[in-house]
Every structure is written in C-alpha cells, then in structure tokens.
Amino acid sequence: MASGAAVALPAERAVGWLASTDHKRTAAKVAAASLLFFGLSGILALAMRSELAQPGLQFVSDHTYDELFTMHGSGMIYLFLVPAALGLGLYFVPLQVGAAEVWSPRLALFGFWVYLCGGLAMYSGFLTNTGAGSDTWTATVPLSSSTATPGVGMDLWVIGVALATLGSLLIALTVLLTIVRLRAPGMTMLRLPVFSWAMLATTFMVLASFPVLIVAMGLLLAERHLGGVFTGSTGSIAYQHLFWFYGHPVVYVMFFPFVGAVGEVVATFSRKRFFGYRALVASLLVFTALSMAVWGHHMFVTGAVQNQYFSLTSHLLAVPAGIEYFDLIATMVGGAILLRTPMLFALGFICQFLIGGLTGIIVASPPLDYHVNGSFFIVAHFHYTLFAGSFFGLLAGVHYWFPKVSGAMLREGLGKLSFWLLAIGANVTFFPMFFLGFDGMPRRVPDYAPRLGDLNLLSSIGAGVIALGVLVFLANVWISLRRRVPAGDDPWGAQTLEWATSSPPPRHNFDSLPPIGSHAPLLDRREAEEAAPA
C-alpha cells in the first residue's frame, strides 16, 4: 500500500497553475503569453524584412505583406508590450508596496484569460480563407470597412483587439487599486518606489484611454456588419479621434513601466539613492496628463485638428521627459557604477530611447510632419521608442528581477552577449530607416525604387542580428533555469521591499516587513547598520 501523502496529478497541477489567483502566477501567465505573441510577431517581422531585403523580390504576395505588417504591429502592441508592461506591474507592485495580494485577484485572472483569448482570436485569422487582419494596427476607416477589407479574418482582428484591450484594462485596474488601497503600514504615496509610481501613472492612462478603444472596436464591428456608423468624410475623422485617443497614451503605457524599471536598476547599480524622487513623481503626473492631450498630432495631415494646440502639448512633453532623463543621469553621477547586464540594458534604454524621443520632436511639428508622415522615417522613430527603448527597458527589468522570480541567477556572459547583439541589431536595422524615409520610401509597401536597395539590405541584415540576440537571451533563461546558480534574497544589494522577502516569494509575499521610512527602505536599513557603532 502506498503512503498516505497526497500527490497532485499532472492534470491537477496544470489546473492549479492555470486557475491560480496568486498574482505572481497570473503575472507569470501573462509573461508566458506575451512571450509567445512576441515570438509570433517577431517571425512576421523577419518575413517582412526578407521581402524588403532587395527591390523586386516576391517572397510573399502583396496581400500577405499587408497581413504581415498588420499582425506584426498589432501583435507587438496589443499582445506583447502592453501586457508585458502590465504583467511586470502585476508581479512586482504588490511586493513593492508590501501587500500580500493584489486587489481582486480574480479580476486579474479574468483579465489574463480574456487577453489570451483575444490574442488567439486575432491570430486565428490566418486560418480563415480571407487571411488575417490586413488594415494596419490602426484599422483606419474606410480601409477597414467590409467593402475594402472583407472577410472573417478582419472581424476576428477587431474582436481580438477589443478582448485583449479589455483584459489589459482589468489587469491595470487591479494594479491601480493595489497601490491605492493595499499599501503596507508606513508606505505613504511619497514612499512608493519609482517603479510603483511609474505603474500608477501607467494605470491612470489605461483607465482613461483603453475603454475608448473598446468602444471604437465595437463601433467598427457594427460598421462592418450593419453600416452607417462611420459614414462620409466625418466618419473617418471620428474613428481616428477615437483610435488615437487610445493610440497615443498607449505609447506611454509601453514606456512608463520601463522608465520605472530602469530607475530601479540605475539606482541599485549606481549604489545611490534615486536622485530627484519628488521631481520624478511630479514629472510622471504631468507627463501622464499631457500624454492624454497629444493624440491629434497623429492627425496633422488630415487638416481636421487644431494643429496649434496639439503641437504645443506635444512639444511640452519634452519638459517632463527632460526631468526624467536628468534624474536618471544625476543618479549615476558620483555613483559606484556596476556594469552588470541589467545596467547595460538600462543604459541601452536611456541612449536609444533618446533617439526616438528627439525624432519625436520632428513629428510633433506640423510642417516637418507633413514631410515625413507615412514614410519610413516614422517607422524608424517608433521602433527607436518601442524596440530600442521600451524592449531594452523590459530586458533591464527582466535581468534585474529574474533572480527574485526564479531564485536563480541569469548567466552574465550570455546576458552581455545578448545585449550587444540586440544593440547592434537594433541600430543596424532601424537607423537606416531614417534615411530611407527622408529619401521618400513610403511605409507599408512590399516593393520600392532600386536606389533604396542597399539601405534596405542593411536593415534586413540587422533584423537577423536582432533574432540572434533574442535566441541568446532565451538560451540564457533556459540554461539558467536548468543549471541553477542560487540567487539568495537580495543578490544585487537593492533598495526596495521586494528584495526583503525570499526568492521566489511565498504565496503571501512576506513573513515580516522592515520599517518603511522612505522609497528605499532596504537602503535605509543598510545605512543605519553602517552608521551604528560596532
């Protein structure tokens, strides 16, 4: 007779994992799903760069190319970067604020499953006879009407976007209310860690803008099936207002969490307290409010928006952005900087996002935007913000927090190799696109003038280097989990509460909490110990 100890069967373990309401497991599920969609969308990008490697190639048909750039952009934004950013918050915000759980764990779990189903619905369009959504990630009306883009694939895209956005919205709501309502005693708003403040600002934007996209997708579906919703010239403009009211804040939803993560990394690896904490908090709030007020700069060329207002608010963004950059750099000045892999990715984020930010000033200016709108210059600009910026910020966070999540250290050598491959790949891929755009290469076309061939080939080679860098990163994760080097509770000498518990944290997060007197309680404790007489 076997012993009486209860052993969970694999099926029970799977259900326990998939239906677990532990915020850490829900966040892990979000991370796994977003990684899956990143992989799929990345493969589509490689197919696009293969088509564009030389003029005159017919690697894919014109319609398939439309599907590729639509699903690549949609996948990366709706299904990868936004959920990954919110998933990072779902895991670490409760730990940083000293909470045992998130506010409404069931809502977060519901949000994850709705998001996953939305992503699968979007990608299932490839299985239909008309193909997947093929009207860009913005689905501009009237191109996305049932006349211009008929078929179930585009409908699935619309429904999938609505579901994925609803899922992200619900996850963000749980993070927001965790900060507002579940902070540990002593954790006042002005003692929140930098990352938690960034997440708070992010969730503000999500709460205000994501419902608008869900409504827009509902109206678009009604337009496709019933008609009469977005009719005439004003219909197209009305749709663009609704879409970009979501479409610009979402850029910062994919940016702020990584500013917060990079802030934590920079302070920890500079061995200093974060410089200008209150200025950063104020700048985050101003940045957040302004980010809701700039959507019209995506519509300068329509002639249907107040260019003066939207140009002014877009240029004003440089002020809070400048404060954040100043704080990050001033934190490093005079610090004992350790160039470990998380810090390398953080520096990559700071330098490369700057290129995306500075070229953003060009597109915030109507006369200059008229010249570059719809060209590869725009593609270069937003890839510098979202890939060379946000993706590097995400990897800074992943390399920094991996020991906390898994209890094992990532390999430094492989981490640095993946950083350099990704940095070289990103710049070789995206920098030539600025010149291509200025030379008149339009975006979203599968073919181009022969004189643009060399720069396009260079860009395609860069995309291959990026793919290699991603593979090295995945190999690093695999090897580090298989041959574990134990991390301990706080391998970096970090400053915030999540490092005060075990790695990985227990179900209830903390057995006990240290006193909280600032946004860096562990640094306070170390300084007190050093100051105490021996």
- Distance from C-alpha of 190 to C-alpha of 159, rounded to nearest angstrom: 40
Q: Per CB under 8 A, does 290 bind other proteins?
A: yes
- Asked if residue 113 binds other proteins (CB under 8 A), the reply is yes
20 belongs to the binding site for other proteins (CB under 8 A): yes
Distance, CA of 135 to CA of 143 (rounded, Å)? 7
Contact characters 168-207, other proteins, x per CB under 8 A? --------x---xxx-----xx----------x---x--x
Among 36, 60, 208, 318, binds other proteins (CB under 8 A): 208
Rg over CA atoms, the chain: 23
For position 259 contacting other proteins by CB under 8 A, the verdict is no
Q: Does 110 bind other proteins (CB under 8 A)?
A: yes
| Distance (Å, whole) CA 296 – CA 239 | 12
In whole angstroms, the minimum distance from the beta carbon of 520 to other proteins comes to 20
Is 43 near other proteins (CB under 8 A)?
no
Contact 353, 325 (CB under 8 A): no
Comparing CB distances to other proteins, the nearer of 121 and 409 is: 121
Cα 357 to Cα 352: distance, rounded to the nearest angstrom? 9
Contact between 194 and 250 under an 8 Å Cβ cutoff? The reply is no
Strand partners, 145: none
d(CA 508, CA 98) in angstroms, rounded, equals 10
Looking at beta carbons only, is 178 or 459 nearer to other proteins? Answer: 178
Residue 363 touching other proteins (CB under 8 A): no
3-class secondary structure, 442: strand
Quick check: 480 and 409 in contact, CB under 8 A?
Answer: yes
Site for other proteins in 135-174 (CB under 8 A): 152, 155-156, 159, 162-163
Taking alpha carbons only, the member of 391, 462, 451 closest to residue 421 is 462
Is residue 512 within the footprint of other proteins (CB under 8 A)?
Answer: no
- Nearer residue to other proteins within complex by CB, 127 or 445: 127
Pick from 14, 57, 58, 106 the residue near other proteins by CB under 8 A: 106
Quote the tokens at residue 231: 């009719």
Size of the site for other proteins (CB under 8 A): 58
Residues 6+ apart with CB under 8 A from 36: none
In the range 396-455, which residues lie near other proteins by CB under 8 A? none
443 residue type, one letter: R
DSSP structural state of residue 411: P
Residue 230 or 391: the one with the smaller Cβ distance to other proteins is: 230
Can you tell me which of 90, 172, 238, 497 binds other proteins, judged by CB under 8 A? Answer: 238
Q: Does 216 bind other proteins (CB under 8 A)?
A: no
- Preceding amide of 521 cis, omega within 30: no
Cα of 357 vs its chain's centroid, Å: 16
Q: Check residue 370 for interaction with other proteins (CB under 8 A).
A: no
Under rule CB under 8 A, residue 93 binds other proteins:
no
Residues 380 and 434 sit within 8 Å (Cβ to Cβ): yes
Identify the CA nearest to 168 among candidates 131, 94, 113, 96. 113
- Residue 121 interacts with other proteins (CB under 8 A)? yes
Instruction: With contacts defined by CB under 8 A, name the span among 270-278, 305-313, 379-387, 443-451 that binds other proteins.
Output: 305-313
The Cα 381–Cα 404 span in angstroms is 34
- Nearer to other proteins by Cβ, of 48 and 238: the residue is 238
| Listed ranges 285-293, 459-467, 494-502, 524-532: which one lies at the site for other proteins (CB under 8 A) | 285-293
- For 502, left (φ over 0), alpha (ψ -120 to 50), or beta? beta
Q: Return the sign of the alpha-carbon dihedral for residues 121, 123, 128, 132.
A: positive
Query: CB atoms < 10 A from the CB of 227, how many?
Result: 12
Q: Is 114 in the site for other proteins (CB under 8 A)?
A: yes
Q: Which CB atom, from 8 or from 57, has the smaller least distance to other proteins?
A: 8
How far apart CA 427 and CA 515 sit, in angstroms, is 45
Q: How far is the CB of 22 from other proteins (least distance, A)?
A: 8
**Short-list 504, 413, 367, 391, CA closest to 92:** 504
Closest separation between CB of residue 205 and other proteins, Å? 9
What minimum distance in Å lies between the beta carbon of 489 and other proteins? 23
Of 45 and 242, which has the nearer Cβ to other proteins?
Answer: 242
Shortest distance (Å) from residue 362 CB to other proteins? 22
In angstroms, the CA 256 to CA 408 distance is 27
**Residue 129 within binding range of other proteins, rule CB under 8 A:** no
From 35, 100, 318, 458, residue interacting with other proteins (rule: CB under 8 A): 100
Among 82, 305, 343, 417, binds other proteins (CB under 8 A): 305
Of 46, 143, 292, 330, which lies in the binding site for other proteins, with binding defined by CB under 8 A? 292
Query: Do residues 268 and 494 touch, judged by C-beta distance below 8 A?
Result: yes
Shortest CB 5 distance to other proteins, Å: 19
User: What is the binding site for other proteins (CB under 8 A)?
Assistant: 15-16, 18-22, 100-101, 105-106, 109-110, 112-114, 117-118, 121, 152, 155-156, 159, 162-163, 176, 180-182, 188-189, 200, 204, 207-209, 211-212, 221, 238, 241-242, 245, 285-286, 288-290, 292-293, 296, 305-306, 308-309, 313, 507-508
